[in-house]
C-alpha cells in the first residue's frame, strides 16, 4: 500500500515536472483559491514565477513544491486541464508580457562595429605611447637584475611606435584598403543576427509560446504508455533497450506522467496552437 502511494506521488511530481520542463504548465490551477495553494505549499507569486521561468527559460522547475503529495488526490485529467487553463491565462498577463519583452531586449544582438582606419591607427599609436611611458617609468625603479629587460622592451616598443607613426605603414595602408569590404561584411553579419533574433523572439509573445507548445507535441507524439518496465537496484528501466538508450528525458518523463496527464494535455495544447495566429 505504501509503495503504491509513493509511486502515485512520484508520478504526480513527474507529471508536474514534465509540464514545467516543457514550458507549458505551472504548479497551480485556474480556480486558484487559497486551499489549493496551501495543498501545493506555494504562493500565487511562486506559481507565476514557475510559469515564467519555464516558458522563457525552458528549464525544469519543480523545486519549492513542498506539499506535492497532496496532489495525489482528485482527477488527473481535470487537474491537468486546470493547469493549462491557468497557464494560458497567465501568458497573456501584463506580468508575463513584461518579462518576455525584457528577455527579448536583453537577447537583442549588438551590431558588429568595425574601427575606422583613422581610429584604428590612432588607438594603436596611443597604446604604444602609453607602453613607452610605462616602460620608462619601470626602468627608473627597476632592480639592476631586470633593468636590462625593461631597456630592451623600451627599444622594441619605440621602434614599433615609429613604424606606427609612419603614414606608409603597410598594416594601416592595407587596413584602409580593406575597410569598405570589412564594413559591408560587418553590416551583413549584423543584419543576419538581427534577423535570427527576430525569428527566435517575435514581437508577439504568443508566437514564442507557440514554439514551446509545438515542442511539447513533438516530444510527446509517440509515447508508448504500455511499455514494460523492469526493476534493478530499486530503479525502473525499460525492458525495450531502444527505449532505455534512444529515448530522451522528456519522452521518459512523459511516459512516467501517464496517458491520463499527457493525452488531455496534448488535446488542449493542439487546440491552443490552432488559436495562435
* pLDDT tens by residue, the chain, 277 residues: 444 434 444 444 444 444 444 333 333 333 444 444 455 566 777 767 777 777 777 654 444 444 333 444 345 666 677 677 778 888 899 999 999 999 999 999 999 999 999 999 999 999 999 999 999 999 999 898 899 999 999 999 999 999 999 999 999 999 999 999 999 999 999 999 999 999 999 999 999 999 988 888 988 888 999 999 999 998 999 999 999 999 988 888 888 878 878 888 899 899 999 999 8
Neighbours of 210 (CB within 10 A): 17
Q: State the pLDDT at residue 115.
A: 95
CA distance 122 to 51: 51
Is the pTM here over 0.85, yes or no? Answer: no
Write the DSSP symbol of residue 71: G
Q: Are 174 and 152 in contact (CB under 8 A)?
A: no
Q: State the pLDDT at residue 58.
A: 64
Give the CA angle between residues 237, 242, 243 to the nearest 5°: 50
Q: State the pLDDT at residue 60.
A: 44
Give me the long-range contacts of 3-7 (CB less than 8 A, separation at least 24). 5/72
Q: What's the length of the chain?
A: 277
Q: Can you give the C-alpha Rg of the chain in angstroms?
A: 30
CA distance 111 to 108: 9
The predicted-structure confidence for 161-172, as pLDDT tens digits, reads as follows: 999 999 999 999
Helix or strand run (H / E) with residue 229: strand 229-232
Of 95, 103, 73, give the one whose Cα is nearest residue 9.
Answer: 73
156 CB-side CA count, 13 A: 7
The predicted-structure confidence for 111-166, as pLDDT tens digits, reads as follows: 999 999 999 999 999 999 999 999 999 999 989 889 999 999 999 999 999 999 99
Phi, psi of 230 (to 5 degrees): -130, 150
Could you write out the DSSP letters of every residue in 169-196? -HHHHHHHHHHHHHHHHHHHHHHHHHHH
**Alpha carbon separation from 186 to 173, 180, 181 (Å, rounded):** 20, 10, 9
Contact partners, residue 197, CB within 8 Å, separation at least 6: 107, 108, 109
Phi, psi of 113 (to 5 degrees): -105, 130
Q: State the pLDDT at residue 241.
A: 93
Q: Are 203 and 163 in contact (CB under 8 A)?
A: no
Q: What residues does 231 pair with on adjacent strands?
A: 236
Amino acid at each position: 500500500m505504501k509503495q503504491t502511494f509513493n509511486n502515485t506521488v512520484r508520478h504526480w511530481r513527474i507529471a508536474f515536472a514534465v509540464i514545467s520542463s516543457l514550458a507549458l504548465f505551472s504548479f497551480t490551477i485556474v480556480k486558484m483559491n487559497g486551499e489549493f495553494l496551501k495543498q501545493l505549499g506555494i504562493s500565487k507569486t511562486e506559481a507565476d514565477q514557475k510559469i515564467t521561468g519555464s516558458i522563457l527559460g525552458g528549464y525544469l522547475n519543480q523545486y519549492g513544491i513542498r506539499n506535492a503529495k497532496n496532489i495525489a488526490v482528485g482527477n488527473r485529467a481535470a487537474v491537468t486541464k486546470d493547469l493549462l487553463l491557468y497557464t494560458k491565462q497567465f501568458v497573456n498577463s501584463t506580468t508575463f508580457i513584461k518579462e518576455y519583452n525584457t528577455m527579448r531586449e536583453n537577447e537583442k544582438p549588438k551590431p558588429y562595429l568595425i574601427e575606422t582606419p583613422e581610429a584604428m591607427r590612432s588607438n594603436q599609436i596611443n597604446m604604444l605611447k602609453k607602453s613607452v611611458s610605462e616602460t620608462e617609468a619601470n626602468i627608473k625603479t627597476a632592480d639592476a637584475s631586470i633593468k636590462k629587460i625593461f631597456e630592451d622592451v623600451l627599444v622594441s616598443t619605440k621602434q614599433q611606435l615609429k613604424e606606427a607613426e609612419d603614414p606608409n605603414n603597410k598594416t594601416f595602408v592595407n587596413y584602409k584598403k580593406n575597410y569598405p569590404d570589412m564594413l559591408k561584411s560587418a553590416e551583413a553579419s549584423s543584419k543576419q543576427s538581427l534577423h535570427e533574433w527576430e525569428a527566435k523572439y517575435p514581437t508577439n509573445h504568443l508566437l514564442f509560446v507557440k514554439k514551446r507548445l509545438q515542442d511539447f507535441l513533438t516530444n510527446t507524439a509517440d509515447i508508448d504508455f504500455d511499455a514494460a518496465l523492469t526493476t534493478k537496484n530499486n530503479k525502473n528501466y525499460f525492458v525495450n533497450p531502444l527505449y532505455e538508450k534512444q529515448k530522451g528525458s522528456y519522452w521518459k518523463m512523459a511516459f512516467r506522467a501517464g496517458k491520463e496527464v499527457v493525452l488531455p494535455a496534448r488535446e488542449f495544447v493542439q487546440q491552443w496552437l490552432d488559436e495562435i495566429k
